[in-house]
Structure 1
Amino acid sequence: MEGNMAAVKRILAEGRADVNCRVKGLMCHWWTGSVTTPFTSPVMEEMWRRLTTSIDNTLHFACNGGDVETVEFVLSLNVVDINSRGVWSWTPVMTAAERGHREVVKLLVSEGADVSLVDVDGDNILHYAFIRGDVATVKFVLSLNVVDIDARNNIGLTAADMARLGGHKEVVKLLEPCFHVM
C-alpha cells in the first residue's frame, strides 16, 4: 500500500506471498469493485503482471466490479486475452453484460471483444444481458447487430425466454417488433 517496489519484488521473489490468493489477495479488490488509486500504482502493476489463474482472471474480476478505469488499467497491462475463458467458459464481456455494466461492455467491444462466443451452456452475450434485465445493456448489445436474437442455448432457451423467466418485462418488450405472428 505504501508503494515500496523493492519490498514487493523481494517478497514475491522469496515466495512469501501468493498473488493468486482468492480470499485475502488482490483478486478480492477486483471482484468487489473496490479498486482505488493505490491499486493502479507501479507496485500493483508489478503484482498483476505476475498474477496467473486457471479460472477467472483479473479482467473477469475487473469486469464484474464494473469500474471502467479499472478495466482499462487491466487491459493496458497486455497480459490477459480480452476473449479469455473463465468459469463456465464465460468471457469478460459476458461477465460485464451479466452484471449490467454497459460502459464496460462498450469498452470491451471497442477493444475487440468477440460478442459471438458462447459459454459451456450455449449462452451468448445477449443471454447474459437479458438475464440481468438491464435495458441499456440489452439495447447496446442489440445495436451491434452481431448476435442472433433467436439463438438458443443448450436447453433451448433464447435470450427473450430467459428475460421472461426472470420477469424482465421491459427487456422483453424490446424484442416484440422482432417476432412475427403467423
Structure 2
Amino acid sequence: MDIVRQLVCAGADVTAFDRNGNTPLHKACQDGFYEIARYLLEPVRYSEIQCNPYDIPYKKIPQDFDIANYDGLTCLHLAVMNKHMDILQLLIERDVDLNMIERKAGRTVLHMACIRGDVKLVRMFMHVRTCNMDARTYSGYTPLDLARDYNQDGVYTILAAAGSKHSAESVDSDSD
C-alpha cells in the first residue's frame, strides 16, 4: 500500500491501463483492495511531494470515475459486481455518479443490483438522492422492469413502493 502511495506522490500515471483496459483503481475495486483504492483517490498533499527532487506533472486526483475498461465497466460497476461494499461506500463519499452506465448494455449499478436481487444494495442506492430510480438501459428497461423480469420479488416490492416506474409507464408519462 505504501508503495502505491509513493508512486502516486512521485507522479505515476493513475490512469495508465493494462491489457484489459483496467486502471489501478479498476483493479483495486475489482479485487477489494480498499486501502489501495483510498490511496489512489486521495489528493497528493504538498508535504508528500516536498522530498521529490523533481517537479511532478499535474494530474487530476481523484481520477475520472467514468473511465471504462475494455469490457465497458467502470470502477463503480466492478466494486458492485464483486460486492466490495467498503469500496462502494468510498466511491460514494467521493461523489461518484451512481447513474454511470456500463458500455455494453447501458446498465447502471441499480440495474445490476435489481438483476441480482440485492435488497440491501437497492436500499442503499435509494438513499442517495442523485440515483435515478427510473434509468433506462440501452434496451429501454428500467430497474423495476429488470426486477420483474428476473423474478426478484423483494427488490420489485421495494422499488414499486418507492414509486419506480416500468418502461411503458415512463414512456406514457413522458409524452404528456
Indicate the TM-score class for this superposition, using the shorter chain for normalisation: 0.5 to 0.7
Aligned counterpart, 1:32: none
- Could you tell me which residue of structure 2 aligns to residue 31 of structure 1? none
Instruction: State the partner residue of 2:65.
Output: 82
Report the Cα distance in structure 1 between the residues aligned to 2:132 and 2:5, rounded to whole angstroms: 40
Write the letter of the residue equivalent to 1:42. Answer: I
**For the Cα contact (< 8 Å) 1:150–1:158, is it kept in 2?**
yes
Name the CA distance, whole Å, in 1 between partners of 2:95 and 2:3: 26
Match of 2:7 among 27, 46, 55: 46
Unaligned runs of 5+ in 2: 45-60, 170-176
Describe the shift of the 1:56–1:163 C-alpha distance in structure 2 as closer, same or farther (beyond 3 A). farther
Q: What is the match of residue 149 of structure 1?
A: 133
Give me the whole-angstrom Cα distance separating, in 2, the residues matched to 1:86 and 1:106: 21
Q: Quick check: 2:133–2:164 contact (8 Å CA) kept in 1?
A: no
Shift, 1:167, TM fit: 4.0
Larger RCO (CA within 8 A; separation ≥ 6): 2
After superposition, give the CA deviation of every residue in 1:98-149 in whole Å (9 maximum; x if it has no partner): 3333332221011121223223222122112223332222111111122322
Match of residue 97, structure 1, among 80, 91, 106: 80
CA distance in 1, matches of 2:7, 2:33: 20
TM-score, normalization by structure 2: 0.64
User: Using a 3 Å threshold, how does the CA distance of structure 1 residues 44 and 146 change in structure 2: closer, same or farther?
Assistant: closer
- Residue in structure 1 matched with residue 155 of structure 2 by the alignment: 171
* Aligned counterpart, 1:22: none
Letter in 2 for 1:143: H
Structure (1 or 2) with the greater helix fraction: 1
Normalising by the residue count of structure 1, what TM-score does the alignment of the two structures yield?
A: 0.62
Secondary structure of 1:49's aligned partner = coil
Q: 1:58-83: per-residue Cα shift (whole Å, max 9, x none)?
A: 11121122343232122237474333
Runs of 5+ unmatched residues, structure 1: 1-39
- DSSP-derived class of the 2:12 partner: helix
Q: For residues 74 and 166 of structure 1, what CA distance do their matches in structure 2 show? A: 36
Give the paired residue count.
142
| Equivalent residue, structure 2, for 1:26 | none
Q: CA contact under 8 A between 2:111 and 2:142: conserved in structure 1?
A: yes
| Amino acid paired to 1:83 | D
Native 8 Å contact 1:62 1:74 kept in 2: no
Change (3 A) 1:44 1:157: same
1:70 equivalent among 25, 33, 36? 36
CA distance in 2, matches of 1:176, 1:50: 44
Assess, with a 3 A threshold, how the Cα gap between structure 1 residues 49 and 145 changes in structure 2: closer, same or farther. same
